[in-house]
């Protein structure tokens, strides 16, 4: 579905992505890695939100590198960015109306409210008045209403209470069953390994290894080496 080839991104003299290649198929695919390794930059580069120096991104057979975020979004990729980036001036309902593709689309506003009843309760609240968990639901709903073929999620579990992390895992599994592709950036290994079948490990702007999720959750030495964790969550 999505194929990234030798992608390079620099900010000034610092080369943040030093030739990243990865393939996302129909199964959820996760990217893990310590802070500052370039995971968010990778998400934004695919989405067209930061300029790309070289390399290629092919989505659904079409080349999308160097395209504007508008064009990338319209080609069928949605993003749930790190920090959620909900719009502080918009109410929950306005967020949904902004991206809604109508009643007959697979994901409609009604379906979002059915799936996340909490958002229906907070309909009239502004984006900045929501709790972290509510903002995350809203950011995911905003992506779903675009009815994308692939969703890029950047650390969705960040800052969520443990019960909400469990809820998040359920939601992500459901999306996978609906055949929505998922590129999941996660430092929380429990989330990454319970949702994705393969996990790529990012180290200093490169993919150091791609391993099956089951192998990563079993191999503590591997976790320590690349992720600096020993318990499976940080």
Strand ranges (E), the chain: 2-11, 14-24, 29-32, 54-59, 62-63, 77-80, 150-154, 181-185, 198-203, 206-212
> 49 touches which of ligand ATP, another protein, Mg ion, none (CB within 5 to 8 A by kind)?
another protein
Binding to ligand ATP (CB under 6 A) within 42-101 occurs at: 82
Greatest CA separation found in the chain?
50
x/- letters, 6..45, toward another protein (CB under 8 A): ----------------------------------------
In degrees and rounded to multiples of 5, residue 211 shows phi and psi of -130, 150
Q: Assess 11 for contact with ligand ATP (CB under 6 A).
A: yes
Buried b (16+ CB within 10 A) or exposed e, 162-196: eebbebbbebbeebbeeebbbbbbbbbbbbbbbbb
Pairing of strands 150-154, 54-59: unpaired
Is 70 or 104 the residue whose CB approaches another protein more closely? 70
Q: Assess 97 for contact with another protein (CB under 8 A).
A: yes
> 37 touches which of Mg ion, another protein, ligand ATP, none (CB within 5 to 8 A by kind)?
ligand ATP
Binding to ligand ATP (CB under 6 A) within 169-228 occurs at: 187
From CA 10, how far away is CA 8, in angstroms rounded?
7
> 11 touches which of ligand ATP, another protein, Mg ion, none (CB within 5 to 8 A by kind)?
ligand ATP
CA atoms within 13 A on the CB side of 162: 2
> 162 touches which of ligand ATP, Mg ion, another protein, none (CB within 5 to 8 A by kind)?
none
Q: Assess 10 for contact with ligand ATP (CB under 6 A).
A: no
> 97 touches which of another protein, ligand ATP, Mg ion, none (CB within 5 to 8 A by kind)?
another protein
- Tokens 């992608």, located at residue: 7
Is 20 or 143 the residue whose CB approaches ligand ATP more closely? 20
Residues at the interface with ligand ATP (CB under 6 A): 11, 16, 33, 35-41, 82, 187
């Amino acid at each position: 579905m999505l194929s990234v080839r030798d992608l390079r991104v620099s900010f000034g003299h610092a080369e943040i992505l030093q030739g990243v290649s990865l393939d996302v198929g129909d199964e959820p695919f996760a990217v893990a890695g310590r802070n500052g390794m370039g995971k968010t930059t990778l998400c934004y580069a695919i989405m067209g939100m930061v300029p790309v120096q070289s390399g290629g991104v092919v989505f659904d057979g079409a080349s999308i590198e160097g395209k504007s975020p508008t064009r990338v979004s319209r080609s069928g990729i949605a993003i749930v960015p790190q920090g959620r980036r909900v719009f502080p001036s918009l109410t929950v309902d306005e967020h949904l109306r902004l991206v809604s593709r109508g009643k007959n689309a697979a994901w409609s506003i009604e379906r979002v409210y059915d799936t996340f009843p909490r958002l229906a309760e907070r309909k009239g609240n502004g984006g900045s008045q929501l709790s972290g968990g509510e903002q995350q639901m809203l950011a995911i709903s905003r992506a779903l209403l675009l009815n994308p073929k692939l969703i890029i999620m950047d650390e969705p579990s960040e800052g969520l209470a443990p019960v909400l992390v469990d809820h998040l895992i359920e939601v992500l599994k459901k999306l996978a069953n609906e055949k929505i592709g998922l590129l999941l950036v996660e430092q929380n290994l429990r989330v990454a390994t319970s949702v994705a079948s393969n996990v790529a490990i990012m180290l200093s702007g490169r993919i150091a290894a791609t391993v099956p999720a089951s192998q990563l959750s079993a191999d503590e030495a591997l976790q320590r080496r690349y992720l600096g964790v020993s318990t499976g969550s940080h």
